[in-house]
Structure 1
Amino acid sequence: MTRMTQTQDRAQQSFWHRLLDRQITRRGAVGTAAAAATALPFTFSGAQAAANNGGPVNAASSDPRTTPPFRPIDPGNADTMTLPERYRFQVVAPWGEVFTADGRELGFNHDYVGFFPTDMLTGGRSSTDALLTINHEYVNPLFVGGNTKDRTPAQIEAEMRAMGVSVVRVRKEGGTWKVVVDPRNRRIDALTDIELTGPVRGTAAVKGATMVKGTVGNCSGGQTPWGTLLTCEENVDGYTKSWAGSGYEPMHQGWVTEIDPFDPTWTPKKRTAMGRFRHENVAVTLTKDGRVVGYMGDDMQDSCVYKFVSRGKYDPADRNANRDLLTEGDLYVANFGNGSWTLLDFDKNAKLKEAKGTDGKPLFANQADVLADARASALAVGGTPVDRPEDIEIHPKTGEVYISLTNNAKHGNYFGQIIKFREDGGDAGAGTFLWEVFAVGGPQSGFASPDNLVFDPHGNLWMVTDNSDLSTNPIKAYHGNNAMFFFPTEGPNAGRAYRFAVGPVDAELTGPVWSPDGKTLFVSVQHPGEDSEGLDKLRSNFAAKPGTNIPRPTLVAIEGFPGWERA
C-alpha cells in the first residue's frame, strides 16, 4: 500500500478511466453464477497453495460457503478494531517490543505478514506455531525520534533500523498468541548486508555493486513454495534527502528481496531479474511445466502489471536449488488492450532498442538498463498504464488472478476497483489472458480504494482498503475508517462487498494472512494516528504501551471463525 500521494510524469489518459467512461462497472460473464460452474477445472498443488498463504483447497467441495460467516457491520470512526459480534482481536507484536535474544525491537509500520509454520520444512502445517515475517514499510519521524524536519545522524540511524522486516516466532498457548524468543528471530533492516543477484548485479545501473545495504519501503510481499519470503520494496526514492549523509543509495532499492526465515545464515538476495519499480507484492504460482511465476504490480498512478517467469523449474526435493530459481528469468508486462504479455528483453524486443527519451537519446543500452527502469521499459513497449495496481493474489480453486486497482485521482477514479483475469489454458506461463471487472468501489458497494487481498480456506476473497484522505474528502464520508471486506467469488453474490472490520483512526489494515486451519486471521494495523499534528495533539492511542499514549503499529490476531476449518 502507499500512504503518500502518488505522482507520475507521463500525462496520458488512464486505460481504466476510459473503461469507466464506457460504463464497464459490473462483473462480466465469468463472474456470474452461470459461469461459476465453468471455472478453470484444476486445483492448486500443495506447493502452489503454500505460496499463497495457505494449504490446498478442495475445488469439488459441495460446501463452498459463499455467504459471510458474520453479520456485516456499519462504517465507523472509533479508535479501535471494530469487529462483528462474537469475533475478537488480540494485539500480538507491536512496534518497539523486544523480541530477539540480542535485544532488537520490532520495526515500525507493520505491513505484509508471511505465515511459515515451524514444521513446514518437514511437511507440516501447524496453525498454532509459526515464524511470521512482518514488513515495516516506512517510519513516521514524529513517533520515531520526535523530529519531523532536520534529522540528526542518530535519528536517521533509528529510522533505518525501524524499517525492513522482522522474523518473529509466535505460538498459541492457552488460547493466547505469544511471541516466542527463538534463534531465528531477527531484524533485516536498512543497514543489513544484502546480495544483488541477476542481470543487474555489478553493472553501471547499480554503480557496480554486488552487495548493498538494506531493504526499505517494504510494502507487501509473497511466499515461495520452498518456504522463503519475497519482500517488496516500494517507495524508495524519497530518502535521498531525508537521509542525507547516511550513504543511502536509491538504485540499490526498489527490488524484490528474498529472505529465508528458517535460515539466519543465508544472506538475503535482491532479485534484479524481477525488475525495479514500486513493488507492491509478488503472487507466486507455477506454470504447468514447473517454472515459477510471480505476478507483480507497480503501485503508482498510470503504471503497469508484470509477470516474471523463471528459467529453471521448481524441484520439491531440492530446496537449496529452489533458492536460486529467481536469479534468472523473463519479465513481461501486461497489455490489457488485447490481453497479452509483452517480453521486456533488450535483445529480443526492438522497441526497447528504439526507445528514446525527451532528449532524443536512447533510454536503454542493455538488459540491465531495461530492468533497472522497468516502468519506462513497460511503457515503451506498450504496457497498459492502470490505476495504481496494488495487491495481486491467485484464487486457490480456479487459478484466476485478482488485482486491486486502488484509485487514480488524475483521471477521476476516486474509488478504485478489483479486476481478475485467467491465463489461456489455465497455464500461468501462457502468453495471453482474458480479464474482467470483479467489483467496483463507491457508495453503491460501500468500499473505496481496495488494497491487500487474501483468500480464505473456501476461496472467498477478503480485502482491506487504502484510503489516505478519509478525514478530508467529503465524497468518502460514507466509508468511515479504513476497513476490511469479504467478497464471495462464486454464487449469486459474487463480487458483493460485506464489511467485516473497521480499523482505528488514521490507520490502514494491511497484510492479512490466515493460519492454515482458517481459525486465525492475522492483520497488521499500520500508521494509527498518522495525521497527528504533534505528540501533544494525538489523534489515536491505539496499542499504546502502558504508561504512554503514543499509538503503535502492530500485528493483531482475529479469531472467532467457527466452522471455517478446511474440509
Structure 2
Amino acid sequence: MTSQPQPHQSFWHRLLDAKITRRSVLGTAAASAAAITLPVAFSDAQAAANNGAPIKADPTTLKPQTVAPFRPIDPTRADTLTLPAGYRFQVLAPWGETFTADGREMGFNHDFVGYFPVDMLEGGQSATDALLTINHEYVNPLFVGGNTKERTPAQIKKEMESVGVSVVRVSKEGQSWKVMPDARNRRIDAMTKIELTGPVRGTAPVKGATVVSGTVGNCSGGQTPWGTLLTCEENVDGYAKAWEGSGYEAMHQGWVTEIDPFDPDWMPKKRTAMGRFRHENAAVTLAQDGRVVVYMGDDMQDACIYKFISRGKYNPSNRAANRDLLAEGDLYVANFGNGSWVLLDYAQNKKLQEAKSSDGKPLFASQAEVLADARSSALAIGGTPVDRPEDIEIHPRTGEVYAALTNNSKHGNYFGHIIKFRENKDDFTALTFLWEVFAYGGPQSGFASPDNLVFDPYGNLWMVTDNSDLGTNPIKAYHGNNAMFFLPTEGPNAGEAYRFAVGPTDAEMTGPVFSPDGKTLFVSVQHPGEDSESLDKLTSNFAAAAGSKTPRPTLVAIEGFPGWTA
C-alpha cells in the first residue's frame, strides 16, 4: 500500500475491494460431456503464461484479453459444476462442516467470499494461505431443520445459527486447499452482538438501540484497504414472521456491517451512515484525496444505485483510525437522467424536508429517518429507479464503475444488462458522470440476469447469473443452468460473453474472488436443489456428504488458471 492513494489502484489493492473439513471432493470438467477440449487463440499475455513466462500483476501494463482464454462450454442441465477442459474444482468448506475449536459449523447458502492473505497486515499477499470470509444469505427450512411449515424454537435457533458470516482459514497444500485450525475461525450469526454507528445510532428508527443482535440476509459485500469485510444485509424483512418470538428486529437489519477477520475481539459495526436498503454489495475504492468511496446497489426492481463518501481520509499507517472511517460520511443517489449524484441530507436537501406521504404527512423529520428509509428518500429527491441493481465493481485499469442490472419484469426487461459509468475527471468523489450500456442479456448474448461481478488483473470482467426460473420459463431455454461468463472489456469483442462454468441443478454461483496469484478462483455454489419437494424428492445431490444424498451449499476452489506473478 502506498502513502499516496491513486484513483486506479494496484492489482492487489483492487482485489481487496472486490469476494477442519472432514472430506475434500475433487471434480473435473472431464466428467461432463459439455466440456470441449479444443484449444483457442490467446492474447499475448495469456499465451506467455501458457508458455511458462511469468506475467507481472500490474494492471497499468497488462494487456486485456480480446477473446476468451479458454474454449467456451455449452449450456447444460447437468447436476455438477461444469468447466472447460483443463480446469478442475474442489469442494471446500461446505455447509455443516465443523471448523472452529468450539464446534461451530459452516453456515448455509454461501454467498460473497472475501480473500484476506494471512500475512496481509504485515504487507504480504499470500496466494496459498488466507482468512476467507463467507456470507451465508438465508436458510432453506427443508434442509435446515426439515420443517417447512411451523418452526419450533429449536429450529429457529438452528436457522439463526446458520446465517451471517463465517471467518475461516484455508491453506493450499500440494494441489488441494484445506480448512486449517485457527483461533480466528469463527461464526458471526443472527445472535452476535453488533454495534450501531453513525447518525441512526440510538435514535427512534432503531428504538434507541446502540448495540443490536445479529446480521442476516448477507448477500454480497466488499473489502476495505485496511483489511476488513463489509457484509451487506439484503432481504431482511421476512425474518420477522419466520422467527416470531425470537426477538428479531427488522429495523436493526438492512445495513452494511463491518467485520475485522483478523481481530475476533473487535465488535462488528453496522454503518448506518451508509443507509438502510436491500444492500447487495459494497465496492470500495480510494479517491484522489484519500477519502473512501463505496458504491452500493439496492437489489429490488425500480430501486437505486448509491455512493458513500467518507468524511475522513485513509491513512495507510493507522489501521485503528481507518476502522472508523465508515462511521461518518455523505450518502448520494444516482440520477441517470442527467448523470448526477444527489445528496441524501435532510438539513441540506429541501426536497427531503418537503417530502409528503399520500395522506399529506411529512415522510421524514430527521437525518436518521432519511437513512433508515434510504429507498424512499432516494426516490423522493430524484434518484433513478433501475432494474434490480445487484453487484457493482470498479475496473482496475480504467476506474470505470460497472453495475449488473439483473432484470425487471415490470418493464419487460427479463434478461437484464450491465452498465458502466465514468466519474467526471476520473474523480470518485465527483458529482457528475457519464454512462452507457456495456452488455445486454438475452439469446443473442447467451446470458440472462447478471449478478455478481469480478475483474481479473487484465481488466476482464467475470460475471455469474441469477435466474430463478430457468426450469420453467421458455424464453430462457437457451441458458441451461445458472452460469459464469467471461467478458472482455476492451477490443473488438468488448461486451461479448463467453460461458466459462455452469452450476448444478437449481443453484447459482456467487461471490467470485481470485487468489493474488490468479491461480485459484473461489466461488460459492448457493442453494443447489432449492426446488426439491422433499428430502425424498431431491433435484440435486451436489456436494452431498459421504453416505448422504442431500445437496450442500459450498465454496469451491477452481484451478487450472495459468496465473501470474506480482
TM-score by length of 1: 0.91
- In structure 1, how many angstroms separate the alpha carbons of the residues matched to 2:89 and 2:208? 48
Superposed displacement of residue 275, structure 1: 0.1
Distance 1:43-1:276 versus aligned 2 partners, 3 A rule: closer
Mapped contact 1:305–1:389 kept (Cα < 8 A) = yes
Give the corresponding residue for 1:198.
Answer: 198
Distance 1:50 1:83, change over 3 A: closer
Per-residue deviation, residues 191-238 of structure 1 (Å, max 9, x unmatched): 000000000000001000000000000000000000000000000000
Shift of 1:391: 0.2
Aligned residue runs from structure 1 range 144-163, under 5 A: 144-163=144-163
Match of 1:234 in 2: 234
Aligned residue in 1 for 2:340: 340
Partner in structure 2 of residue 83 of structure 1: 83
Q: Which amino acid aligns with 1:51?
A: L
Matched residue type, 2:188 = I
Q: How far apart are the structure 1 equivalents of 2:314 and 2:60?
A: 26
CA distance in 2, matches of 1:131, 1:141: 29
Q: How does 1:384-399 map to 2 (within 5 A)?
A: 384-399=384-399
Equivalent residue of 1:160, what SS? Answer: helix
1:244 equivalent in alignment to 2:244: yes
Deviation at 1:521, TM superposition (A): 0.2
Hey, what's the Cα distance between the residues in 2 that align with 1:266 and 1:175? 34
Displacement of 1:175 in angstroms is 1.2
Report what 2:507 is aligned to: 507
Question: Letter of the aligned partner of 1:425 in structure 2?
Answer: K
SS for the counterpart of 1:280 is coil
Give the Cα separation in 2 of the matches to 1:472 and 1:42: 45
Return the alpha-carbon distance in structure 1 between the equivalents of residues 185 and 362 of structure 2: 46
Aligned partner of 1:345: which letter? Answer: D
One-letter amino acid matched to 1:421 = F
What is the Cα deviation at residue 477 of structure 1?
A: 0.3
Structure-2 residue corresponding to 1:6: none
Number of the residue aligned with 2:365? 365
Map Cα deviations across residues 379-405 of structure 1 (whole Å, 9 max, x no partner): 000000000000000000011000000
Partner secondary structure for residue 351 of structure 1:
helix
Distance of 1:377 and 1:236 partners within structure 2: 19
The reply to whether residue 44 of structure 1 matches residue 43 of structure 2 is: no
Between the aligned partners of 2:424 and 2:10, the Cα distance in structure 1 is: 19
Residues 162/62 of structure 1: CA separation in 2 closer, same or farther (3 Å cut)? closer
Deviation at residue 240 of structure 1 after TM alignment: 1.0
Tell me the secondary structure at the aligned position of residue 127 of structure 2.
coil
Pairwise CA distance, 1:50? 4.3
Match of 1:19 in 2: none
Compared with structure 1, are the counterparts of its residues 153 and 458 closer, same or farther at alpha carbon in structure 2 (3 Å cutoff)?
A: same
Question: What amino acid maps onto 2:86 in structure 1?
Answer: R
Does structure 2 conserve the Cα–Cα contact (< 8 Å) formed by 1:73 and 1:84? yes
Q: What is the deviation of 1:45?
A: 4.2
Task: Give per-residue Cα distances to partners, 1:428-479, cap 9 Å, x unaligned.
Answer: 0000000000000000000000000000121100000000000110000000
In structure 2, distance between residues paired with 1:561 and 1:162: 32
Moved more, 429-438 or 46-55: 46-55
Change (3 A) 1:227 1:62: closer
Q: TM-score, normalised by structure 2?
A: 0.91
**Equivalent residue number for residue 67 of structure 1:** 67
2:138 matched to which residue of 1? 138
Post-superposition Cα deviations, 1:165-192, rounded to whole Å, max 9, x if no partner, equal 0000000001110000100000000000
Alignment of 1:18-417 (within 5 A): 43-45=8-10, 48-53=13-18, 57-61=57-61, 63-417=63-417
Write the distance in 2 (CA, Å) between the matches of 1:76 and 1:170.
31
Task: Note the residue ranges of structure 2 that are not aligned, 5 or more in a row.
Answer: 1-5, 20-54
CA contact (8 A) 1:44 1:57 kept: no
SS where residue 251 of structure 1 aligns?
helix
- Give the drift of 1:49: 1.7
Kindly state the Cα deviation for residue 321 of structure 1 after the two structures are TM-superposed.
0.1
8 Å CA contact 2:77–2:505 kept in 1: the answer is yes
Letter in 1 for 2:509: L
Tell whether the 8 Å contact from 1:169 to 1:181 is kept in structure 2 after alignment.
Answer: yes
Q: Residues 540 and 504 (structure 1 numbering): CA distance in 2 closer, same or farther, change over 3 Å?
A: same
Aligned-pair distance for 1:58?
A: 2.6
Q: 1:62 to 1:449 in 2, by over 3 A?
A: closer
**What is the identity, as a one-letter code, of the residue corresponding to 2:435?**
W
How many Å apart are 1:46 and its aligned residue? 6.4
Residue 518 in structure 1 maps to residue 483 in structure 2: no
Rounded Cα–Cα distance in structure 2 between residues aligned with 1:187 and 1:224:
20
CA distance in 2, matches of 1:96, 1:78: 24
Report the CA distance between 1:287 and its aligned residue: 1.1
Instruction: Note the alpha carbon deviations across 1:511-566, whole angstroms, 9 max, x for none.
Output: 0000011000000000000000001100000000101110000000001012x314
Aligned to 2:282, what secondary structure does the other structure show? strand
Partners of 1:44 and 1:56 within 8 A in 2: no
5 Å-filtered alignment, 1:523-542, equals 523-542=523-542
CA distance in 1, matches of 2:322, 2:75: 45
Residue identity matched to 1:195: E
Corresponding letter in the other structure for 1:478: Y
The one-character-per-residue Cα deviations of 1:21-75 (angstroms, maximum 9, x if unpaired) are: xxxxxxxxxxxxxxxxxxxx96414674243249995344263333212100000
Identify the residue that residue 37 of structure 1 maps to in structure 2. none
Q: Is the 8 A contact 1:77 1:505 kept in 2?
A: yes
Percent of residue pairs identical:
78
Equivalent position of 1:24 in the other structure = none
Residue deviations 1:308-337 (CA, integer Å, cap 9, x gap): 000000000000000000000000000000
Counterpart of 1:450?
A: 450
Give the aligned partner of residue 543 of structure 2: 543
For structure 1, the 5+ residue unaligned runs are 1-40
Query: 2: distance between equivalents of 1:53 and 1:359?
Result: 43
CA distance in 2 between counterparts of 1:50 and 1:494 reads: 22
Q: Which secondary structure does the structure 2 equivalent of 1:486 belong to? A: strand
- On the 8 A contact 1:50/1:224 being kept in 2, the answer is no
Secondary structure of the residue aligned to 1:273 is helix
2 CA distance for matches of 1:429 and 1:388?
A: 24
Q: Give the distance between the partners of 1:486 and 1:541, measured in 2 at CA.
A: 27
In structure 2, what residue type is equivalent to 1:236?
A: V
Aligned residues of 1:166 and 1:185 also touching (Cα < 8 A): yes
**Do 1:46 and 1:56's aligned partners in 2 also have CA atoms closer than 8 Å?**
no
Please give the per-residue CA displacement for 1:245-274, whole angstroms capped at 9, x wherever unaligned: 000000000000000000000000000000
> Aligned in 2, Cα 1:56/1:259: closer, same or farther, shift over 3 Å?
farther
User: Aligned partner of 1:283: which letter?
Assistant: A
Deviations 1:407-435 (A, max 9, x none): 00111000000000010010100000000
SS of residue matched to 1:279 = coil
Distance 2:327 2:565 in 1: 35
Corresponding residue pairs, total:
526
For the residues of structure 1 that align with 2:11 and 2:533, how far apart are their CA atoms? 48
Aligned partner of residue 531 in structure 2, secondary structure: coil
The answer to whether the 8 Å contact 2:196/2:269 transfers is yes
Structure 2 counterparts to residues 421-432 of structure 1, below 5 A: 421-432=421-432
**CA distance 1:285–1:60, shift in 2 (3 Å):** closer
